[in-house]
């Protein structure tokens, strides 16, 4: 039987139109910052807390836009699917990986799609959506 995880993730875009990708310690796939909810947290509360823990940045609720949900395979956990709540926001400034993050990078969404080390959520949903939004 497949395990199912619920997560909240953020698509953060800088002033150059680049998307933030993060890689957790001990894993090989890049993804968005975010994670699992704590008891009683809404998806928005979860993503705000996770961004603060992972990047040291505190977003106000009105600074993140809800972008919908996605269902698919987990990147780093075998036989696991995820139900992701997606948010987007803008960020300009310097970031350092904190908590369980080992690496982060800012990259053009089109260039990111050329990589072979992306989480399914990022490859199948977040990057195509970011590219479409950039055209608008």
Question: What pTM was estimated for this model as a whole?
Answer: 0.91
Q: For residues 113 and 107, give the distance between their C-alpha atoms in angstroms, rounded to a whole number.
A: 10
Q: What is the pLDDT of residue 76?
A: 77
Please state the domain count of the chain.
1
Is 110 in contact with 118 (CB distance < 8 Å)? Answer: no
Q: What is the pLDDT of residue 136?
A: 66
Q: For residues 17 and 130, give the distance between their C-alpha atoms in angstroms, rounded to a whole number.
A: 9
Residues 6+ apart with CB under 8 A from 24: 31, 76, 100, 101, 102
Range of the domain at 68: 3-135
CATH number at residue 105: 3.90.79.10
Q: For residues 7 and 128, give the distance between their C-alpha atoms in angstroms, rounded to a whole number.
A: 20
Q: How many CB atoms lie within 10 A of CB 135?
A: 5
Q: For residues 41 and 81, give the distance between their C-alpha atoms in angstroms, rounded to a whole number.
A: 20
117 SS3 class: coil
Q: How far is CA 45 from CA 49, 62, 112, in A?
A: 6, 12, 28
Backbone angles phi, psi at 121, to 5 degrees: -60, -45
* pLDDT, averaged in runs of 10, over the chain (136 residues): 88 94 94 96 98 96 95 83 94 90 95 94 89 78
């Amino acid at each position: 039987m497949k395990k199912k995880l619920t997560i909240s993730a953020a698509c953060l875009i800088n002033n150059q139109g680049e998307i933030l990708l993060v890689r957790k310690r001990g894993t090989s796939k890049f993804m968005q910052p975010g994670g699992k909810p704590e008891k009683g947290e809404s998806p928005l509360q979860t993503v705000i807390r996770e961004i603060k823990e992972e990047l040291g940045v505190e977003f106000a609720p009105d600074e993140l836009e809800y972008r919908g949900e996605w269902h698919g395979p987990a990147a780093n956990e075998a036989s696991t699917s995820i139900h992701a709540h997606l948010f987007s926001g803008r960020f300009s400034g310097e970031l350092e990986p904190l908590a369980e993050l080992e690496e982060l990078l800012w990259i053009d969404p089109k260039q990111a799609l050329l990589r072979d080390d992306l989480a399914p959520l990022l490859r199948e949903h977040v990057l195509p959506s970011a590219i479409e939004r950039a055209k608008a």
